[in-house]
Structure 1
Amino acid sequence: MAVATAPSISLVAAAGGGSLLFRQLFDADTGTFTYLLADVPSRQGVLIDSVYEQHARDLSLIRELGIELVASIDTHAHADHVTGSWLMHDATGCAIALSAAARADNVTLPLNHGDRVTFGGRSVEIRSTPGHTNGCITVVLDDHSMAFTGDALLVRGCGRCDFQQGNAHTLWNSIKEQIFTLPESCLLYPGHDYNGRSVSSVVEEKAFNARLGGDATERDFVGHLENMKLPHPHKIAEALPGNMRSGKPRETSPKATWAPLARSYAGLPELTPTWVVAHQSDLTLLDVRSAEEFNGPDGRVAGSLLIPLPDLEAQASSIPTDRPVVVVCHSGSRSALATQQLLKAGRWQVANLRGGLSRWAAEGYPLEGVKA
């Protein structure tokens, strides 16, 4: 039986001369950036600063790109969101990586200054940059072209220093000695931003950062930070205890549901042909192609119900309600739209057939009406 595989990530636009895949993701609720780096030839990668609530999105992207995740790295124990590291470890077996100084539970890869985390032919260097918290690190790509600064250095700003063992003098030294010593062309990617600023560079922050750039002195920097008088992050009571467990829930919620659903990066529930074949007698297979296609040379799944996509809204009441629905089309595109429509209509036991009938046939499962 032929088995369909994930598309080669060498076909995905990559940075670093084609050897590095880079994705910047965003959580609007907390203003948090999450970063995915992967070595294209080996398909190994690391995730930096994941967000608990965005776990399904991140895992879907990793799976769709066929990446073997080596580690989920946090730049510090966050006070404004709970990390998704434990969930990612549970789903993929990757390491949970955090500064040893944070002393959090469930960390499988405690990090110290000078450590390297290798993924395929690439690696990241760990630079200790305390000051915002005592466990802050900056994650630097092996060729020093990119650095992920967490909350130590933000775009035209920096992290606060008034809790979690923060210290403005320490942060000044961390930035000056560990971040500003990188090449001036090095791109700096922050842990947060609330104004749409997603990237900066060493040369920019040296010149324009209002807190420590230009002619600012350590006295200026410390005076600024010690007089900010900011309210504590609104999620601190939830985030800090959660992050001291590396994001592990107090009670692990059961994974069981009506089917082993996976979410596509677009957010839709999907099922594989293998699972559908094994449970076909308990499902309604809804084919949303045209009648010509349904009866055409490509064939159809035996026993499937035909409702062409343009007619779905008007004929939805004819879909049986006593069993889950798996929606199919040729490639999974039209059926994705149909799945979305059914979910919006309140049919929660519904999923798209991943890859459509094309994948079904490629994996060797039978179709009736196929014409050679």
Structure 2
Amino acid sequence: MIFQQFFEPDSSTFTYLLGCEQTRQAVLIDTVECDVEQYVQALASHGLTLVYTLETHVHADHVTGADTLRKRLGSKSVVHRDAGAMCGDLLVTDGIHLSVGHMDIEVRYTPGHTNGCVSYYVGDRIFTGDALLIGGCGRTDFQQGNAGQLYDSIHSKIFSLPDETLIFPGHDYNGNTVSSVGQEKQNNKRLGGQQSREAFIEIMANLKLAYPKHIDVALPANQACGNIAVKQSA
């Protein structure tokens, strides 16, 4: 499998390119609009055709490049059916498998950060979006967030995987790029060490986080799959 990780520093967002070596078909996970040219160049350098842009959720901190890539390259946008982005070309549910060349991509429904969060399980790795971060997790005080639901999602859909499964999150703010299920089960500051559900809910209720600085622009734009006109009128 061809694999490349991108990092957008303003929102500390990771985007992932996955490509099939045999068929040269590819997907991008959690694109950022301002980095579209980087993705196009990377696809060309690997000789890949973009089939899907996969969203882990409707983002509140950056605008997705899905609409721009769809118009430019003919790719299809994939979001969960409860994400609030009916503009998606493919609305997925838990347990759906996407076949891209010889790659099998399993959709795992992991709500709690938002009501429409999914993680994508591919081979030896899982792309967790904002549900599970390295050493932390997504906030639960916006977009139908629910701390108890997030705890259940992480334990049933991510921590249930083999310990050696690689974790690639949607963001990192501390210079990390990858973790593993075993490392997060042991060391995650909010969930590790067999943290109880009740204690986790208490932690999340007392974070006192600032209002997301890009949410008023990013959320309506992403509900339209990153449509530029919606972004500019917001």
TM-score (norm: length of structure 2): 0.97
Structure 1 residue 122 displacement after superposition: 1.1
CA gap 1:83/1:227 in 2 versus in 1, 3 angstroms: same
Aligned pair partner of 1:32 in 2, 8, 13:
13
Q: Does 1:135 align with 2:121?
A: no
Q: Percent identity?
A: 43
Q: 2:60 aligns with which of 50, 55, 79?
A: 79
- Find the residue that maps to 1:97 and give its secondary structure: strand
Tell me the SS of whatever aligns to 2:82: helix
- Equivalent in the alignment of 1:240: 219
The 5 Å alignment of 1:103-252 reads 103-141=84-122, 143=123, 145-250=124-229
Cα 1:91–1:227 change in 2 (3 A) is same
Counterparts of 1:95 and 1:130, CA distance in 2? 23
What CA distance in whole angstroms lies between the structure 2 residues aligned with 1:140 and 1:25? 18
d(CA) in 1 for partners of 2:154, 2:49? 32
Question: Aligned with 2:161: secondary structure?
Answer: coil
Given that 2:166 and 2:181 are in contact with CA atoms closer than 8 Å, whether structure 1 keeps it comes out as yes
Match of 1:360 in 2: none
The number of equivalent residue pairs is 232
Asked whether the equivalents of residues 185 and 194 of structure 2 are also in contact (C-alpha less than 8 Å), the reply is: no
Distance 1:103 1:75 in 2: 12
Whole-Å Cα distance in 1 between the matches of residues 118 and 19 of structure 2? 20
Tell me by how many angstroms 1:59 deviates: 1.2
Q: Give the conservation status (yes or no) of the 8 Å contact 2:220–2:230.
A: no
> 1:1-372 alignment to 2 at 5 Å?
20-141=1-122, 143=123, 145-250=124-229
Whole-angstrom distance in 1 between the partners of 2:139 and 2:21: 36
Give 5+ residue unaligned stretches, structure 1.
1-19, 254-372
* C-alpha distance in structure 1 between counterparts of 2:166 and 2:84, whole Å: 29
AA aligned opposite 1:36: L
Q: How far is the alpha carbon of 1:252 from its aligned partner? A: 10
CA distance in 1 between partners of 2:72 and 2:110 (Å): 30
Question: In structure 2, how many angstroms separate the alpha carbons of the residues matched to 1:210 and 1:251?
Answer: 37
Distance of 1:226 and 1:251 partners within structure 2: 32
Structure 2: runs of 5 or more not aligned: none
Paired with 2:96 and 2:195, the residues of 1 have a C-alpha distance of 31
Aligned equivalents of 2:195 and 2:230: distance in 1? Answer: 48
Misfit runs of 4+, over 4 Å:
none
**Structure (1 or 2) with the larger CA radius of gyration:** 1
More strand by share: 2
State the Cα deviation string for residues 8-53 of structure 1 (Å, max 9, x = none). Answer: xxxxxxxxxxxx0000000011100000000101101110000011
Secondary structure of 1:101's aligned partner: coil
1:260-314 deviation per Cα after TM superposition (whole angstroms, max 9, x unaligned)? xxxxxxxxxxxxxxxxxxxxxxxxxxxxxxxxxxxxxxxxxxxxxxxxxxxxxxx
For residues 53-80 of structure 1, the C-alpha deviation after alignment (integer angstroms, 9 at most, x for no partner) is 1111111111221111110001000000
Kindly state the Cα deviation for residue 251 of structure 1 after the two structures are TM-superposed: 7.1
The one-letter amino acid of 1:147's match is I
**2:139 and 2:145 in contact (8 A); partners too:** yes
- Once the 2 structures are TM-superposed, how far is the Cα of residue 117 of structure 1 from its aligned partner? 1.4
Matching residue's letter, 2:89: T
Secondary structure of the 2:14 match is strand
